[in-house]
Structure 1
Amino acid sequence: MLMTRWWQPVLVPAVVATLLLTGTPARACDPDDPPHGGTAAHHEAAAGSVRHHHHQHAAGASSNPELLGTVATATGAISINFLAYGDGRDVMLVTGTFGLRSYDLADPANPRLLGEFALPGMWQTENTEVDPVRKLVFLARDPRAFGGDVATGESGVYIVDASRPDQLRQLSYVQVPAGHTTSCINHCRYLWTGGPAKSSTMPTEWGGRPIWVTDVRDPSHPTVFPDPIDLARNDGKTDYAHDVQVDAAGVAWVSGRGGVRGYWTEGRRWDPVRKRTRTATAIDPVPYAGGGIAETAAPSRFMHNSHRPAGARWADGGWRHGDLIYVTEESFQAGCAADGVLVIASLTGSYQGQSWRSTPQQPFRLATVGTWSVAGQEGSDPVSEDCSAHYFDVHGKVLVQSFYAQGTRFIDVSDPTNPTQIAYHRPADGRAWAPFWHNGLVYVADNTRGVDILRLTSG
């Protein structure tokens, strides 16, 4: 009986949009105030299901994604996660301005709504992460949520129990001085929470909020450590730490204003700043590598998120294993030409703590290997000014990345000096925030459409 009740989907109307290769301009925002919300698109569809679409080719692209369907019940989507359950069930968890919703993926192209943890008025929930073992979801509360503001609003983290995805329930909520994003550290025993711009109670010399650490070993009673970490990240100035990604080797990479820096959080490690071997922990991590991005590659130096391909040997171009990092700039300028870019940089020369000693007088910058921008690419809207780089995901040597109104781009990074677009998906009514590879498909969190489900096919 329990299994039957778990599997029973919530019946709600769903509508979808067709694949289009043209777009309309959307509002651009500053990295301190990224795009939020949006009006629900007017989709053509039949209620009650996700419509499937025929494959459509993009002229001149070597391959093109097939749009399998759109989950419009997830309108307002910002982030997506997946959880596998012991009996083979596969569940998608979508967060956004509505809170958290769960979907059954028995039919991967036709997700069915299971349950909801409603938080109407949430601000974004960027980069929500999950504990795949304990079936927990961690949602960051930005101070702008529920009508607040950066200067005085409350920030924190919700911890939601998803052991029964049809009955999502709050385990706890804890106030944290930061709250734009929150990330799992040490197998989700700790959280690193960062951003946004500083509050009115924080030091005037700070340019933004650094990272605060929360102990979630007991998720019903989380404990926030009082002292922040990743200080002085911008040439000696404490600044906006935007997001954290942990690579396959266990290094936690913090992206934000000033670049990207990696830390060991477990084990006995050589500390190049303190010049001794010591034990790395989530609250006292050991610097590893990283640094600022050259202004010629990313003029704003506001780095949004990153990925270091540390899990497999890099076979092309003679690059040493683990020496490359992909990092993306969020920046909104007039027109697309100077907007945020994807940067591939080399970590060579950064392993001795150089970034932690960088100053305006003696700045340290990573060497740029290659860059990619949506401006001027096939399928781009030359009029739109809402085309900054945003979240990306990597599968093998294909990187898929969202660029707001410029859609989702598939980029071949097998030659890191020459990233090349191989496909794109840019619906006219779209505002793509983040794509996620899952079991051969790409699920795109689109703030106006919901979740687009794509399959990359050879062209």
Structure 2
Amino acid sequence: MAGGFRLKKLKRTFLFSAILSAALVISSVPISGLAHDDLGSDIIEKGQGAGYGKNDTLILEGKFRNLTEVAPEMKVIRADGKQNSFGDVYAHKGFAYIGTHTNNGGNGGVRVFDLKDPANPKEVAVFAHNDVPGTWQEKVIVKSVRTPYFKGDLAVVSVQQLNRNNPDSQGGFLLYDVTKPYNPKKLGFWKVTKKTNGTHELYLTVQGNRVLVLAANPYADYYSHGEEKDFQIVDVSNPVNPSTIWQFDPRTLEEIPDDFNGYHWNAPDGKTRPVFNHSTMVDDTGKFAYVSMWDLGTAIFDIRNPENPIYLGRTQYAPHQQGSAHSAALAKGGRILIETREVYNPSKAGYEQAYGYTRIFDIKDKTNPKLLSEFKTELVDDIEDGVTFANTVHDPKVVGKILFLSHYAGGVRAVDISNPANPVEIGKYVPIDSNVWGVFVERNYILASDIGTGLKVLYKKDAHDDNEDAEEPENDGDNDDNEN
């Protein structure tokens, strides 16, 4: 890498100490959200609500004490002088890709940063920002792929409408060639029904020379009256011409009654629960998909034949628990499932008084996930401030035996899950007014995205950084994002 800066291969023990630090800080800029009054109070857009931490000082505890916040804030100002809010963060081959949220009318696209010098990330490109008017681009995933139609680094970007009544906007996802990160090139655009907001979260997976996107299109079933589904699998082997090959209809499950209307579910516990697809992910083998279906739980599919996936099983909840299955990650070679639950309303009648927390399952038998433990931070039971995103967990990432949680006001938490039945918090990074959206481990630095202030970089220099050859870190198959 340039400037004599060399990133070395990390030993597993070093990864554990370096892995936890990419949290974010929120600005006082208001974050716009999209209401879903016709769907009820269960639905709220990410970032809508207070979401501000109570911290007046930087907290570096446990494993985080050995980390340095070398790039504490990377705001991005558009050509018009305005700033977007920010979404998730991903990294690939020494470049960070950060999505943008809805502030100042969205259309912030994906910002690309060269991380040769982690203390001074250099923004080198922006893409997907001028393609579809009136939209925002929250989620981006990048992978190296090889198909009969395309060879290189492929990026998939979620596209969501700010206003479904805007005739010029359209939801779905964009595909870009980022083989040369300084010069991204648009390849294709997959469209979901105009009646829904678009594709919220998504996942890019490879099956040999075939490439698939698993798209989460919340309420597509509801808004299109069943014409399109919340969970769709799209073949993007030819990224110029993406093609939908399968959709999931929850009505096909025996436990879902025929009166299921694409959103409200008359659950066996007597409660009316919301069901929609919030997020998707796939294991490193490309064989099994884990789909966050809110109060239906995390649904597990065998997708080895992506035209005809097989539903295997799902996580379930006690009657007093809000489901709110938000995101998933895997550990121990895919034998352990991590489920985060984004409960933003801790005072909902008929349920426990608590924000969202993390659950850990044994899924050796994927048809029957078994709950091993639940992990809660000190924020979960702090409900005195009323409805806010501030205290709920958000996204999980796993590297080796360490679980990393982005936790809004709680910053980034590191949890030892070497014994999944007894998770133990071992580190905490909480910046001032924390509003951490996502976290990603890349070599010997930690990246995080903050809704208000964008990209954060935490770094620990290895003693051998001055050697010339940079190498990738060891990976035992448990890192769902250095693939996610």
Do 1:374 and 1:403's aligned partners in 2 also have CA atoms closer than 8 Å? no
Do 2:25 and 2:435's aligned partners in 1 also have CA atoms closer than 8 Å? no
TM value normalised by structure 1:
0.70
Distance change (3 Å), C-alpha of 1:19 and 1:445: closer
Equivalent in the alignment of 1:106: 116
Which one of the candidate residues 280, 285, 301 is aligned to 1:244? 280
Equivalent in the alignment of 2:416: 412
Separation in 2 of the partners of 1:23 and 1:373?
A: 26
Do 2:69 and 2:458's aligned partners in 1 also have CA atoms closer than 8 Å? yes
Distance change (3 Å), C-alpha of 1:234 and 1:409: farther
SS in structure 2 at match of 1:189: strand
Output the amino acid matched with 1:263: F
Equivalent in the alignment of 1:140: 158
SS in structure 2 at match of 1:33: coil
Equivalent in the alignment of 2:356: 340
Q: How far 1:247 sits from its partner (Å)? A: 1.4
Alignment deviations for residues 183-224 of structure 1 (CA, whole Å, 9 cap, x no partner): 1133561211112124664337x9x94211222111112223
Distance change (3 Å), C-alpha of 1:173 and 1:128: same
Q: How far 1:425 sits from its partner (Å)? A: 2.0
1:116 aligns to 2:133 (yes or no): no
Which one of the candidate residues 168, 171, 182 is aligned to 2:184? 168
Output the amino acid matched with 1:392: P
Output the amino acid matched with 2:144: P
- For residues 2-81 of structure 1, the aligned pairs below 5 Å read 32-36=43-47, 58=60, 61=62, 63-64=64-65, 65-74=67-76, 76-81=85-90
Equivalent in the alignment of 1:303: 325
1:283 aligns to 2:319 (yes or no): no
Do 2:71 and 2:121's aligned partners in 1 also have CA atoms closer than 8 Å? no
Equivalent in the alignment of 1:96: 100
Which one of the candidate residues 278, 296, 316 is aligned to 1:293? 316
Do 2:355 and 2:383's aligned partners in 1 also have CA atoms closer than 8 Å? no
Q: How far 1:293 sits from its partner (Å)? A: 2.6
Output the amino acid matched with 1:181: E
Q: What runs of 5+ residues in structure 1 fail to find an aligned partner?
A: 5-17, 42-54, 85-89, 267-280, 312-321, 355-365
Which one of the candidate residues 181, 186, 201 is aligned to 1:181? 201
Distance change (3 Å), C-alpha of 1:329 and 1:381: closer
Separation in 2 of the partners of 1:148 and 1:448?
A: 25
Separation in 2 of the partners of 1:245 and 1:31?
A: 23
Q: What runs of 5+ residues in structure 2 fail to find an aligned partner?
A: 3-21, 36-40, 77-83, 102-107, 146-151, 263-274, 462-484
Equivalent in the alignment of 1:211: 231
Equivalent in the alignment of 1:373: 376
Output the amino acid matched with 1:114: V
Do 1:70 and 1:452's aligned partners in 2 also have CA atoms closer than 8 Å? yes
SS in structure 1 at match of 2:99: strand
Equivalent in the alignment of 1:436: 440
Equivalent in the alignment of 2:174: 158
Separation in 1 of the partners of 2:309 and 2:392?
A: 31
Equivalent in the alignment of 1:48: none
Distance change (3 Å), C-alpha of 1:173 and 1:62: closer
Distance change (3 Å), C-alpha of 1:449 and 1:413: same
Output the amino acid matched with 1:137: A
Equivalent in the alignment of 1:130: 142
Distance change (3 Å), C-alpha of 1:290 and 1:375: farther
Output the amino acid matched with 2:250: L
Output the amino acid matched with 2:247: P
Separation in 2 of the partners of 1:169 and 1:67?
A: 32
Q: How far 1:449 sits from its partner (Å)? A: 1.5
Q: Which has the higher contact order (CA 8 A, sep 6+)?
A: 2
Q: How far 1:310 sits from its partner (Å)? A: 4.7
Separation in 2 of the partners of 1:168 and 1:249?
A: 27
Do 1:31 and 1:302's aligned partners in 2 also have CA atoms closer than 8 Å? no
Alignment deviations for residues 290-343 of structure 1 (CA, whole Å, 9 cap, x no partner): 4133226x82212111122253xxxxxxxxxx4321111111124795111110
Which one of the candidate residues 220, 244, 255 is aligned to 2:292? 255
Alignment deviations for residues 220-267 of structure 1 (CA, whole Å, 9 cap, x no partner): 122234x5126346942554122111113432211122111222322x
Separation in 2 of the partners of 1:82 and 1:22?
A: 21
Output the amino acid matched with 1:218: N
Do 1:294 and 1:367's aligned partners in 2 also have CA atoms closer than 8 Å? no
Output the amino acid matched with 1:73: K
SS in structure 1 at match of 2:176: strand
1:202 aligns to 2:228 (yes or no): no
Distance change (3 Å), C-alpha of 1:118 and 1:129: closer
Do 2:23 and 2:411's aligned partners in 1 also have CA atoms closer than 8 Å? no
Separation in 2 of the partners of 1:22 and 1:229?
A: 37
Q: How far 1:33 sits from its partner (Å)? A: 2.7
Query: Which range moves more in the overlay, 438-447 or 163-172?
Result: 163-172
Separation in 1 of the partners of 2:110 and 2:179?
A: 14
Do 1:210 and 1:231's aligned partners in 2 also have CA atoms closer than 8 Å? no
Distance change (3 Å), C-alpha of 1:103 and 1:34: same
Separation in 1 of the partners of 2:356 and 2:327?
A: 12
Separation in 2 of the partners of 1:136 and 1:419?
A: 35
Output the amino acid matched with 1:219: P
Distance change (3 Å), C-alpha of 1:19 and 1:301: closer
TM value normalised by structure 2:
0.67
Equivalent in the alignment of 1:52: none
Separation in 1 of the partners of 2:49 and 2:357?
A: 23
Query: Which range moves more in the overlay, 195-204 or 324-333?
Result: 195-204
Separation in 1 of the partners of 2:426 and 2:331?
A: 20
Equivalent in the alignment of 2:391: 387
Which one of the candidate residues 212, 224, 244 is aligned to 1:224? 244
Do 2:337 and 2:362's aligned partners in 1 also have CA atoms closer than 8 Å? yes
Distance change (3 Å), C-alpha of 1:333 and 1:377: closer
Separation in 1 of the partners of 2:117 and 2:42?
A: 37
Output the amino acid matched with 1:417: A
Distance change (3 Å), C-alpha of 1:166 and 1:368: same
Distance change (3 Å), C-alpha of 1:147 and 1:172: same
Q: How far 1:347 sits from its partner (Å)? A: 2.4
Do 2:135 and 2:169's aligned partners in 1 also have CA atoms closer than 8 Å? no
Q: How far 1:62 sits from its partner (Å)? A: 6.3
1:330 aligns to 2:342 (yes or no): yes
